[in-house]
Structure 1
Amino acid sequence: MARLILELPEQFTFTTEIPVLIGHINYGGHVGNDAILSLIHEARFRYLKQLGYCSELDIEGLGMIMTDTAIIYKAEAFHGETMLVQVTPQDFNKYGCDFIFKLTNQQTGKEIARAKTGIVFFDYLQRKVVEIPTEFRKKSQSNV
């Protein structure tokens, strides 16, 4: 199977610091693959919060669901370190967009992982995928 390749954008629109907690550590003594997904989820939530949204279930009255994920691991990370997580949305379409992430060890500058999550907007009352809210698109693209 061919290796995944994820090109990073030239710039990111949002950056946050997230400490590596003991719960992120696996039996190998480093951050587990499941923890990377949790870290990017936290970063996406913080990005949305700075746009004025307090929940992924209420983005202009609609929910957001993840359709796919790709994670490329570059290096180990350990308890007590701080992750610098950069986030930017891109590839907007009728129903959603992708979020691109770069996770770096804040102390050393070493890249730990890069990831992409695809999201679509979902009306939980109607139980169906719906068009991306215009206001979300405007807010997100004004930061790009």
Structure 2
Amino acid sequence: MPRLKLTLPAQADFHCALAVRVTDLNYGGHLGNQALLGLLHEARLQYLLALGFDELGTDACPGLIQCDALVSFRGEAFLGDLLTIKLTATDFERTHFDLYYEVRTNDRLIAQAKTNLAFFDYRTRKTAAIPETFLAALALQRTKNEEIREQ
């Protein structure tokens, strides 16, 4: 079976740093797959908060629900490693979009991942259209990132 290969977007919308904790280690002594998904979730929450959103939503804006996830491990991470996680949103459709992740430590690629997220109204238990406010916040963030890169 061929290895999963993800092609990540060239520019990142957001990045954060998270440390590998002792509870993130598996019996092999390195970052476990379930722990990586938890760290990706934390990075996603930080990204959404930076845009002024959260996963649960509000009366004015639906929340988000994860539809699927792809993870490709490329290296090991160990206790105390500081992971830099870059996130980029792409492939917007009416109710959902893809979020790509690149995980590195000390310039070593640890993992690449992609999740598909749908906007979801937790009261009605139905998907919802991507809010224009979300797209506007993302566009503003990308403009700021571009200005920083040009300096």
- Whole-angstrom CA distance in 2 between matches of 1:66 and 1:141: 22
Cα-Cα RMSD? 1.2
In the alignment, is residue 14 of structure 1 matched against residue 2 of structure 2?
Answer: no
- Whole-angstrom CA distance in 1 between matches of 2:141 and 2:61: 21
1:35-82 Cα distance to aligned partner (Å, 9 max, x none): 1111110100000111122x3101642110000100000000000110
Please point out which of 99, 108, 111 is paired with 1:110. Answer: 108
1:87-123 Cα distance to aligned partner (Å, 9 max, x none): 1111111002111000001xx2100000000000111
- 1:143 is displaced (CA, Å) by 2.8
Q: Percent identity?
A: 38
Paired residues for 1:76-91 under 5 Å: 76-91=76-91
Q: One-letter code of the match for 2:38?
A: S
Counterpart of 2:129 in structure 1 is 131
- Whole-angstrom CA distance in 2 between matches of 1:19 and 1:58: 27
Task: Give the TM-score normalised by structure 1.
Answer: 0.93
Counterpart of 2:119 in structure 1 is 121
* DSSP 3-state at the match of 2:127: strand
* DSSP 3-state at the match of 2:45: helix
Greater helix share, 1 or 2? 2
Task: Give the TM-score normalised by structure 2.
Answer: 0.89
- 1:13 is displaced (CA, Å) by 1.1
8 Å CA contact retained: 2:64, 2:117? yes
Counterpart of 1:140 in structure 2 is 138
Q: Which moved more, 1:133-142 or 1:11-20?
A: 133-142
Q: One-letter code of the match for 2:116?
A: G
* DSSP 3-state at the match of 1:115: strand
Q: Which stretches of structure 1, 4 residues or more, deviate above 4 A after TM superposition?
A: none
**Mind listing any 5+ residue stretches in structure 2 that lack a counterpart?**
143-151
- Whole-angstrom CA distance in 1 between matches of 2:130 and 2:2: 32
Work out the number of aligned pairs and report it.
141
Q: One-letter code of the match for 2:72?
A: I
- Whole-angstrom CA distance in 2 between matches of 1:141 and 1:71: 26
* DSSP 3-state at the match of 1:41: helix
